[in-house]
């Protein structure tokens, strides 16, 4: 299949590792080219699909750069542009498409060679993009459009949830907006359920538009019976008029020294203070936290002497536990088992969004997310092992979504949190992560290497960029593309779930037209959307 797009130029040099150089024809305007656009290269035996990673200007006579001619006359400028000056593209070939038997039978294949000299280069057509990325169907979800193209970029969400994934970008680039779109897609088209720790109350009932000028629908308004909203702050939910399904409370006896260990930097605890927590647990059992807070001065002295705990370490621990005690959702005895309620919903195929209300401090988020995820993961692990032993189906795939991921997955605590375990086990027990962060360099390197697909908005810190692109083929070229993304509404996706890296603009969300588009062919949801549209935009 040959593209009907006009010719841009020809291949004049290059290599497999560094990409190829394309000399533009005189009729092709260098100003119309852009980093991140896609081209096809018609080789002698196969067609190549590649990305523009750099644009440059060249001259055939070096003296022109020393003594530039007078181009006031348009005719002279036109003559020079066609003969003595030219534009060049640096193209990174990524796939071979439809040019050999394997590509025709199995679809696009990773590139293993380079096109021959003087191969023709054209802009990729809509048909080329559809061939590479597929079309929207029951399993593929439209997440946006490649830059400067109208064609739909579709992501196979069933493949996406098979491994842990990450969404990155500096503050204000649209991570939350992009995450919301992906979660809605997973709700509609993947077979996984989600457990979302919603630190800023953006995913449950409603969230903010990218400009924070109006409210947009959250998962509950899309999923209805497929989504449940849990809250740590019922009063805040009622004030915001958010319908909730369960109020989460954490009992003192549910908190373990392992949970305190994760909070060490946040609570400003010393390592000896954390060790004191383990000593208290060994002495008092599950009631260790309550007993530690209730100890009198005389009793403290005896215990410290017996357990060989320094008084300053104990006082540090007690101050940290006091911060936890003051959290409104931490109570002496929880009236109901939160984990049991979450699992009951997940087992029925209902995704759970846990809103934090006013409890947005890091200590509250780390405590709740790690504690609940650890217990749920342990139960999933037991279920999966029993299913394999009895040759029965595995539990329904679960995706755990966490924000501020570097707090859970930095090199100091990654091996102590359940999230580090989930990332390394690569969905061994049908549990994977969706991590959202603005500081990917703060995440442990081993964990980053296990993320199957990464979607990154603009990053301006060199360490963050290197962390996201570590181990990726064509890193230097992708770095150039990433550095030139717009501050908002643009992202680069690469990894397991896509055949090649793609710079794209996320689909629009929040307007009447976008709601209609997302509703698709689901009749009940479509009718609800139509009703909402009439109310919002009469």
> pLDDT for 382-404, tens place per residue?
999 999 999 998 888 999 999 98
CATH number for the domain spanning 468: value is 3.40.50.300
Q: Are residues 378 and 486 in the same domain?
A: yes
Does residue 215 belong to any structural domain of this protein? yes
Alpha-carbon distance 393 to 381, whole Å?
13
Note the pLDDT tens digit of each residue in 425-437. 877 889 999 999 9
Pairing relationship of beta strands 7-15 and 120-123 according to DSSP bridges: antiparallel
**Inter-CA distances, 212 with 202, 216, 381, 518, Å:** 11, 10, 40, 21
Does residue 241 belong to any structural domain of this protein? yes
Q: Are residues 379 and 440 in the same domain?
A: yes
- Expressed as residue numbers, the domain containing 531 is 511-538
Q: Are residues 326 and 345 in the same domain?
A: no
Give the domain-ending residue among 330, 362, 395: 330
Q: pTM here?
A: 0.85
Does residue 148 belong to any structural domain of this protein? no
Domain count, the chain: 4
Residue 342 confidence (pLDDT): 95
* Residue 10 confidence (pLDDT) above 90: yes
* Residue 211 confidence (pLDDT) above 80: no
Distant-in-sequence contacts of 170-174, Cβ < 8 A, 24+ apart: 170/438, 170/457, 170/458, 170/459, 170/460, 170/461, 170/464, 171/438, 172/487, 172/488, 173/457, 173/458, 173/487, 173/488, 174/210, 174/457, 174/488, 174/489, 174/491, 174/506
Tokens of 496: 């397991």
The interaxial angle of helices 271-284 and 311-325, nearest 10 deg, is 80
Is-contact 87 30, C-beta < 8 A? yes
CATH number for the domain spanning 105: value is 2.40.30
Q: Are residues 422 and 481 in the same domain?
A: yes
- What would the mean pLDDT of 451-468 be, rounded to a whole number? 92
Q: Are residues 90 and 207 in the same domain?
A: no
Q: Are residues 240 and 380 in the same domain?
A: yes
Does residue 518 belong to any structural domain of this protein? yes
Does residue 262 belong to any structural domain of this protein? yes
Q: Are residues 196 and 301 in the same domain?
A: no
Q: Are residues 319 and 352 in the same domain?
A: no
Q: Are residues 227 and 263 in the same domain?
A: no
Q: Are residues 75 and 204 in the same domain?
A: no
**Strand, coil or helix: what is 335?**
coil
- What would the mean pLDDT of 67-74 be, rounded to a whole number? 71
Q: Are residues 256 and 343 in the same domain?
A: no
Q: Are residues 428 and 480 in the same domain?
A: yes
């Amino acid at each position: 299949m040959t593209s009907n797009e006009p010719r841009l130029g020809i291949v004049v040099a290059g290599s497999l590792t560094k990409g190829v150089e394309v000399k533009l024809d005189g009729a092709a305007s260098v100003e119309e080219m852009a980093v991140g656009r896609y081209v096809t290269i018609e080789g002698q035996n196969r067609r190549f699909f590649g990305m523009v990673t750099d644009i440059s200007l060249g001259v055939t006579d070096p003296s022109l750069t020393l003594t530039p001619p007078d181009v006031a006359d348009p005719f002279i400028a036109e003559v020079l542009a066609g003969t003595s000056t030219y534009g060049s593209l640096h193209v990174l070939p990524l796939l071979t498409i439809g040019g050999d038997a394997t590509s025709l039978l199995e679809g696009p294949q990773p590139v293993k060679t380079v096109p021959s000299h003087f191969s023709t280069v054209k802009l990729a057509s809509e048909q080329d993009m559809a061939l590479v990325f597929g079309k929207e169907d029951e399993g593929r979800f439209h997440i946006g459009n490649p830059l400067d193209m109208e064609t739909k970029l579709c992501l196979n969400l069933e493949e996406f949830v098979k491994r842990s994934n990450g969404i990155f970008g500096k503050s204000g680039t649209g991570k939350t907006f992009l995450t919301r779109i992906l979660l809605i897609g997973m709700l509609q088209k993947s077979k996984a359920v989600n457990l979302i720790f919603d630190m800023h109350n953006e995913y449950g009932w409603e969230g903010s538009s990218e400009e924070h000028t109006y409210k947009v629908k959250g998962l509950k308004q899309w999923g209805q019976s497929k989504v449940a909203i849990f809250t740590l702050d019922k009063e805040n939910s009622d004030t915001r008029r958010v319908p909730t399904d369960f109020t989460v409370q954490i009992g003192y006896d549910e908190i373990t020294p392992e949970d305190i260990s994760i909070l060490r930097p946040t609570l400003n605890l010393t390592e000896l203070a954390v060790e004191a927590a383990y000593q208290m647990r060994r002495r008092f059992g599950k009631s260790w936290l309550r007993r530690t807070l209730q100890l009198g001065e005389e009793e403290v002295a005896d215990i410290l002497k017996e357990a060989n705990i320094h008084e300053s370490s104990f006082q540090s621990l007690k101050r940290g536990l006091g911060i936890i005690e003051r959290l409104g959702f931490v109570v002496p005895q929880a009236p109901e088992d939160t984990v049991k309620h979450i699992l009951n919903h997940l087992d029925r195929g209902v995704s759970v969004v846990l809103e934090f209300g006013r409890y947005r401090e890091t200590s509250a988020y780390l405590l709740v997310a790690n504690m609940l995820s650890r217990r749920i993961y342990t139960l999933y692990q037991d279920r999966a092992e029993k299913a394999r032993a009895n040759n029965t189906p595995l539990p329904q795939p679960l995706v755990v979504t966490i924000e501020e991921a570097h707090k859970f997955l930095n090199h100091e605590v990654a091996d102590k949190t359940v999230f580090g375990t989930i990332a390394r086990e690569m969905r061994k027990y049908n549990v994977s992560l969706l991590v959202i962060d603005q500081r990917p360099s703060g995440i442990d390197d081993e964990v980053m290497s296990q993320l199957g697909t990464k979607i990154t908005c603009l990053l301006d810190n060199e360490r963050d960029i290197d962390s996201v692109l570590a181990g990726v083929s064509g890193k230097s070229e992708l770095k150039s593309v990433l550095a030139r993304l717009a501050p908002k509404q643009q992202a680069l996706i690469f990894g397991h779930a896509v055949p090649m890296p793609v710079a794209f603009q996320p689909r629009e969300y929040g307007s009447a037209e976008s709601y209609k588009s997302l509703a698709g062919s689901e009749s009940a949801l479509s009718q609800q959307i139509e009703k909402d549209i009439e109310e919002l935009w009469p």
